[in-house]
Amino acid sequence: MNKKLLFVSTLFLLMTGNIKAQSKISFEEEENYYLGSIKTQNGWEIYSDVEDNIEIPEILVTNAQFTDGKNSLKIETKDSNIFIGAFKNITASAEKIKVSMDVFVEDIYKNGYGSEIMLTLIDQNDTNLATINLAFDNTVWTGSGSYVYEVEGVTYASNSWLTISYQIDFENSNINFYLNDTYISSQEIEMGASLTALDVYMFDMGTQFYVDNISIESLLETSSISSQQKKIEIFPNPVSDILNIKTKDDIKVIEVYDISGKKLITTTDKVLNVHSLPKGSYVVKIITDKETTVKKFIKK
């Protein structure tokens, strides 16, 4: 299984002016958006890790592509090999919410390279609550915290609109990820987490993308979250010796990682002997014939 360490902008800590979550953001004139740079429009900020003498890519409200209304948000490419992104403070007070957006990624192998695109929700500690990574090679990665993990067998099509969504159950500390309304993976999150911001960014290597129709809504009917969440269980947690995996699906592989992302165990056995692991926090990734799930456990 592959993993990536995520970039986190230190500028998050400098941004203020929290804005209540809208039910929908489609960058239209009636929402007080106008064509041109997104900077300062309705609380949006832009950032980069730019160095001297590098041309910064533009982040614009544009009418070149759209799914809802006439406009969308565009993050342009300058083939600059820098991080560039747009950030907006939002809040959502419900225990169970759904965040979704439409994304259009241009030809991912333009000039022989492709940009790494990150669509991230930020928590109250300015860390990654949930991330969907549309990678340069058309693979899809998901995660929470410092790392994202490849979703086995899932790819996306460039030059077409995609819908990505996150169903977040704060009460049970769980997120389900969806691509084009199809469930692709789940991830446990820290207890007490809350949504405070939306961040869309890329490592610019020659491609660009658009975002439209951002939706944030409360979920009254939560069966779609709870049913996926209960498909795979681990116990006991904390664990001293044996960690059990409970699922009715066929196991393809189970992998255990430490908090640095180092892989420690690879197996297909639902009974894991973790006696030799030092005390601490770990991640177990469970890949079945139907889904990919990442859960945290504590070795005591």
pTM of the predicted model as reported, rounded to 2 decimal places: 0.75
The pLDDT, as a whole number, for residue 223 is 44
Domain boundary residue, one of 191, 208, 226: 226
170 with 293, same domain: the answer is no
The pLDDT, as a whole number, for residue 86 is 93
239 with 292, same domain: the answer is yes
66 with 122, same domain: the answer is yes
105 with 180, same domain: the answer is yes
Domain boundary residue, one of 205, 226, 247: 226
74 with 94, same domain: the answer is yes
Count of domains observed in the chain: 2
40 with 86, same domain: the answer is yes
Domain boundary residue, one of 226, 244, 265: 226
Instruction: Domain of residue 251: give its range.
Output: 231-299
266 with 169, same domain: the answer is no
- The label of the residue with tokens 């001293």 reads 240
pLDDT tens for the chain, 300 residues: list them.
566 666 544 343 333 334 344 488 999 999 999 999 999 899 999 988 766 555 667 899 999 999 989 999 999 887 777 888 999 998 887 889 999 999 999 876 666 667 889 999 999 988 899 999 999 888 999 999 888 999 988 999 999 999 999 999 998 888 999 999 999 999 888 888 899 999 999 888 778 899 999 999 987 654 444 445 557 888 999 999 999 999 888 898 999 988 777 889 999 999 999 999 999 888 898 888 877 788 888 899
- The label of the residue with tokens 């299984």 reads 1
157 with 276, same domain: the answer is no
**50 backbone dihedrals φ, ψ, rounded to 5°:** -65, 145
148 with 235, same domain: the answer is no
CATH number at residue 249: 2.60.40.3080
237 with 218, same domain: the answer is no
167 with 240, same domain: the answer is no
134 with 257, same domain: the answer is no
CA-wise closest residue to 275 among 299, 250, 291: 299
Separation of alpha carbons 97 and 267, rounded Å: 34
CATH number at residue 180: 2.60.120.200
- DSSP of the chain, one letter per residue? --EEEPP--GGGGG-----PPPSEE---GGGT--SEE-TTGGG-EEEE---TT-PPPPEEEESSS-SSTT-EEEE------SEEEEEEE----SSEEEEEEEEEE--TTGGG---EEEEEEEETTSSEEEEEEE-TTSEEEEESTTEEEEEEEEE--SSSEEEEEEEEETTTTEEEEEETTEEEEEEE--TT--EEEEEEEEE-SS--EEEEEEEEEE-S--HHHHHHHTTSEEESSSBSSEEEEE-SSPEEEEEEEETT--EEEEES-SEEE-TTSPSEEEEEEEEESS-EEEEEEEE-
